[in-house]
Amino acid sequence: MARSVSIQRKIGMTILAWSVGLLIFFPILWTFLTSFKSELQAISIPPVFVDFHWTLENYRTIQTQSNYLHFMMNSIYLSLGSTVLGLIFAIPAAWAMAFSPTERTKDILLWMLSTKMLPAVGVLIPIYLLFVRFGLLDSRLGLIVVLFLINLPIIVWMLYTYFKEIPGEILEAARMDGAGLAKEIVHVLAPMAVPGIASTILLNVILSWNEAFWTLNLTTSNAAPLTQFIASFSSPQGNFYAKLSAASMLAIAPILIVGWFSQKQLVRGLTFGAVK
């Protein structure tokens, strides 16, 4: 009896999981399909699903109009650069807060998160002025710093929760064996927190890759990433959905593939320590 209930439950949960999965995936699927349609098919009512004349024309037009590789390389530089910089600052910070907390630690953590609560546009003009003054407009360095700063609270928070799960006694043992602070972090803490660090890296890369406010406002051409590549295909004569979809597919393809291959790592990291 109990068994049959559990099978029913299993079937129910499977159907539910699949429906939710498909629901979330559908916009990407639809963008994918639209990118192979003609402009007329893209806006036809009723919509056509797969029964249309598949064409690569949109991808061809996009290639001739725009230098995709330039934008993609910038996206890679920006997301990796800001992530590496973020880890350099966040690992020691999270270590300190996780293993030698003070009574103000919780407040500091909250204060860091509170910087995420201000709408980005609120500081656009000050940041823009700073960029003008330091000659950082349209430079990768400037944008890496900004992306690093806006994601830093999230990285610190994530790493902090992972580090909290690691028993302090192990670190103490390392210290007993004569490990210094650097050795302790690099050789003892880091290896144990690999799943956590990996998922932090992935999440941060994804966030930086998709960041569209600062990247659009602080770059023109030299440092412009894929967000600007997509924006350039929006036209005042109305949206050409098929071409926009093709541009979007090209923009999300690299991160989608990376995400696909590392999903195990990502899920493991995100649920790390959730079940004890």
Partner 1 sequence: MKLSLTAAAAASLIACVALPASAQTTLTIGTVNNSDMIRMQKLTPEFEKAHPDIKINWVTLEENILRQRVTTDIATGGGQFDIMTIGTYEVPIWAKQGWLKPLDKLGADYDEKDLIPAIHSALSNDGKLYAAPFYAEGVLTLYRKDLFEKAGLTMPEKPTWDFIAEAAEKITDKSAGVYGICLRGKPGWGENMAFLGNMAREFGANFFDANWQPQFESEGWKKAVSLYVDLMTKYGPPGAASNGFNENLQLFGQGKCGMWMDASVAASFVTDPKQSQVPDKVGFAPAPCGTDSCPNDGFNWLWAWNLAIPNSSKKVEAAQTFIAWATSKEYLDLVAKQDGWANVPPGTRTSLYKNPEYIKAAPFAEATLNAIQHADPSPTKDKPYYGLEFAAIPEFQGIGTAVGQQMAAALSGSSTVDQALKQSQAIATREMQRGGYLKR
Residues that bind partner 1 (CB under 8 A): 39-40, 43, 45, 65-66, 124-125, 128-129, 131-132, 137-138, 216-217, 220-221, 224, 228, 231-240
Give min distance, CB of 63 to partner 1, in A: 13
For helices 105-114 and 68-99, give the axis angle rounded to 10 degrees.
160
Give min distance, CB of 224 to partner 1, in A: 7
Between CA 219 and CA 255 the distance in angstroms is 21
Between CA 107 and CA 113 the distance in angstroms is 10
Handedness of CA 125, 127, 131, 133 (dihedral sign): positive
Residue type, 57: E
Classified as helix, coil or strand, 39 is: helix
Give min distance, CB of 92 to partner 1, in A: 35
Between CA 258 and CA 13 the distance in angstroms is 28
Query: Long-range pairs for 224-229 at CB < 8 Å and ≥24 separation?
Result: 224/70, 224/71, 224/74, 224/138, 225/71, 225/74, 225/75, 225/78, 225/143, 226/71, 226/72, 226/74, 226/75, 226/250, 226/251, 227/75, 227/251, 228/71, 229/66, 229/68, 229/71, 229/72
Give min distance, CB of 98 to partner 1, in A: 40
Choice between 31 and 217, CB closer to partner 1: 217
Give min distance, CB of 117 to partner 1, in A: 22
Choice between 100 and 237, CB closer to partner 1: 237
Choice between 98 and 150, CB closer to partner 1: 150
Choice between 179 and 231, CB closer to partner 1: 231
Choice between 145 and 174, CB closer to partner 1: 145
Give min distance, CB of 238 to partner 1, in A: 3
Give min distance, CB of 212 to partner 1, in A: 9
Match 């490990």 to its residue by tokens: 179
Q: Which of 203, 200, 195, 208 is nearest to 259 (CA)?
A: 203
Choice between 38 and 105, CB closer to partner 1: 38
Choice between 161 and 232, CB closer to partner 1: 232
